[in-house]
Amino acid sequence: MSMLHLVRTSAFQTDDFQQCLNVLQPTDCIVLLDDGCYNLNHDLWQEALNKVALPALYIIEAHAQARAVTLDKEKINTLSLDALMTLICETEKSVTWQ
């Protein structure tokens, strides 16, 4: 059942992340990549933290650093693209919000 959500857009610009949260289930994982990294500082991030456990929330480290998004271990875990591929293989399905 568990689903991997690949979030590639900023919630400051589009409704994609809100829609993602609307279908998010407690066993799902979220990965922020590309402009999705900006969601870490959006009010909606708290909703993500409320819905799934911190170990299931990830951000692509290089994508965050490229955007000068400050990382906070209390809010998210970092991931390399190799680790993302492993995560994709481990989860049953994925949906891309872009």
Partner 1 sequence: MSITEKSVAILNASPPLSKANAKDSLDVALIFGSYEQAVSLYFQGDGVYQLIAEQQPELIQQKDFLKTFAALEFYDIENIYVCHHSLNQRGLAEKFSIENVQVLNQDDFAISLHQHQTILRF
Partner 2 sequence: MKNIAFVITTPPNSNLTATAINIVTAALTMNISVVGVFFYQDGVLNGSQHLALPNDEYQAHQQWQLLHLKYNLPLHLCATAAEKRGLSDDINDNQAKNVHEAFTLSGLGELVELNVKADRLIQL
Residues that bind partner 1 (CB under 8 A): 1, 3, 15-16, 19, 22-25, 92-98
Binding partner of residue 54 among partner 1, partner 2, none, CB under 5 to 8 Å per kind? none
State the nearest-atom distance from the C-beta of 37 to partner 1, in Å: 19
Q: Which of residues 4-43 bind partner 2 (CB under 8 A)?
A: 6, 8, 33-34
CB atoms < 10 A from the CB of 68, how many?
Answer: 7
Binding status of residue 2 toward partner 2 by CB under 8 A: no
Size of the site for partner 2 (CB under 8 A): 17
In angstroms, the Cα distances linking 10 to 26, 27, 43, 88, 91 are 22, 23, 12, 22, 24
- Rounded CA gap, 72 and 25, in Å? 23
